[in-house]
């Protein structure tokens, strides 16, 4: 899958950079990096609509100036981009995410080696970081875990390192599917089932822990399907959306019989822990 990179320049930055990020997230943009003069945003090529972009409210607001450059980034180029800028990620003293050219630390409980074919799911994004923080609070020993929208497979790998008896990792993207298999092998973990697809791949199963780091629109659509595959008392960890999306997701989760355990946020992104 190819991605489009948009380099937006925003003036004034406050509060319009955050508003633009929210509006782009509503369009289906998956990842953002904040820059000193604006932000970079990424969306799958086949998900992008030129008409939707031109109709964004901010482009009609005279109080803000927004310009952008767009370029196509073929999937095979992600790894080269990543190698040029990939720093080690440390989630407290719990887990570090390293590349082949990093030295392994002795200060973290877990160390995960990742060499992604795409730039999402490496731990650099706030949502992945928060999901790891929430996972730390769970006892995953002997649990059956689903990682829906697995990306690089980093959360599935962490679940297995935490002692889960079985882990299933699912992603709709071909490269994510292949990359997860490769990263599982790099980290010498086993008993992780990797499937290409979406929520339908969980049908008929029964999980103790369900993890989904996906955008709000997909979560709102697929939460009922997730709920059907979770045992009573199971833990649900969600991220991939903004703090402003919380009320809508919370209402949906309550309708499905879930109760809130924890809500965390980082740079306007949100992660949730609910119990069934």
The CATH number given to whatever domain includes residue 30 is: 3.30.70
Percent of the chain with pLDDT over 70: 92
253 and 135 housed in the same domain: yes
141 and 256 housed in the same domain: yes
CA distances 245 to 18, 124, 229, 258, Å, are 14, 21, 24, 17
Nearest CA to 103 out of 93, 113, 94 is that of: 113
For residue 63, the tally of other CB atoms under 10 A from its CB is: 7
Cis peptide before 219 (omega within 30 of 0): no
Q: Give 133-151 pLDDT, tens digit per residue.
A: 999 999 999 999 999 999 8
Residue 151 is labelled as binding a ligand: no
Cα-Cα-Cα-Cα dihedral sign, residues 92, 95, 101, 102: positive
Beta partners for 235? 209, 275
Domain end position, chosen among 15, 50, 73: 73
Stretch 106-112: mean pLDDT, rounded? 90
Average pLDDT, the chain: 89
Specify if 50 maps to a domain: yes
pLDDT at 29 over 90: no
Sequence-distant (6+) residues with CB within 8 A of 86 are: 99, 122, 124
- Cβ proximity of 16 and 59 under 8 Å: no
Q: Give 67-97 pLDDT, tens digit per residue.
A: 999 999 876 555 566 555 567 788 989 999 8
Residue 183 is labelled as binding a ligand: no
pLDDT at 274 over 90: yes
126 and 23 housed in the same domain: no
Specify if 79 maps to a domain: no
Specify if 153 maps to a domain: yes
Residue 171 is labelled as binding a ligand: yes
**How confident is the model at residue 261, as a pLDDT?**
98
243 and 130 housed in the same domain: yes
- Cβ proximity of 140 and 51 under 8 Å: no
Burial 205-232 (b: 16+ CB within 10 A, else e): eebbbbbbbbbbebbeebbeebbebbee
- CA pair distance 256, 31, nearest whole angstrom: 28
- CA pair distance 171, 132, nearest whole angstrom: 18
Specify if 126 maps to a domain: yes
Specify if 89 maps to a domain: no
Provide the domain count of the chain. 2
What is the DSSP-derived secondary structure letter of residue 103? P
132 and 262 housed in the same domain: yes
- What are phi and psi for residue 152, nearest 5 degrees? -85, -10
Domain end position, chosen among 73, 101, 128: 73
Q: How many residues does the chain have?
A: 276
Looking at per-residue pLDDT, the higher value among 122 and 187 belongs to 187
Residue ranges making up the domain that contains 7: 3-73
- CATH at 167: 3.40.50.150
Neighbour-count burial of 239, counting CB atoms closer than 10 A to its CB (0-12 exposed, 13-18 middle, 19+ buried): buried
176 and 241 housed in the same domain: yes
25 and 124 housed in the same domain: no
pLDDT at 17 over 60: yes
pLDDT at 119 over 50: no
- CA pair distance 124, 56, nearest whole angstrom: 27
Residue 128 is labelled as binding a ligand: yes
**How confident is the model at residue 125, as a pLDDT?**
75
- Cβ proximity of 153 and 192 under 8 Å: yes
154 and 59 housed in the same domain: no
């Amino acid at each position: 899958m190819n991605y489009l990179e948009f380099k937006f320049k925003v003036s004034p930055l406050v509060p319009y950079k955050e508003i633009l990020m929210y509006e782009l997230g509503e369009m289906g943009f998956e990842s953002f990096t904040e820059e000193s003069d604006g932000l970079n945003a990424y969306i799958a090529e086949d998900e992008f609509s030129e008409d939707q972009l031109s109709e964004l409210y901010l482009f009609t607001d005279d109080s803000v100036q927004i310009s952008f450059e767009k370029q196509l980034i073929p999937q095979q180029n992600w790894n080269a981009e990543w190698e040029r800028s990939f720093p080690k990620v440390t989630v407290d003293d719990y887990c570090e995410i390293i590349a082949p050219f990093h030295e392994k630390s002795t200060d973290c409980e877990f160390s995960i080696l990742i060499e992604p074919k795409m730039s999402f799911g490496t731990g650099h994004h706030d949502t992945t970081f928060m999901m790891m923080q929430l996972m730390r609070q769970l006892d995953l020993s002997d649990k059956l875990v689903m990682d829906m929208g697995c990306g690089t497979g980093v959360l599935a790998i962490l679940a297995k390192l935490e002692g889960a008896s079985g882990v299933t990792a699912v992603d709709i993207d071909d490269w994510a599917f292949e990359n997860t298999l490769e990263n599982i092998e790099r980290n010498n973990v086993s008993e992780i089932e990797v499937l290409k697809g979406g929520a339908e791949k969980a049908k008929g199963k029964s999980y103790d822990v369900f993890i989904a780091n996906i955008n709000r629109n997909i979560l709102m659509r697929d939460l009922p399907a997730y709920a059907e595959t979770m045992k009573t008392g199971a833990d649900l960890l969600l991220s991939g959306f903004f703090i402003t999306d919380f009320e809508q997701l919370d209402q949906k989760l309550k309708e499905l019989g879930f109760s809130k355990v924890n809500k965390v946020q980082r740079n306007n992104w949100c992660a949730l822990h609910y119990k069934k």
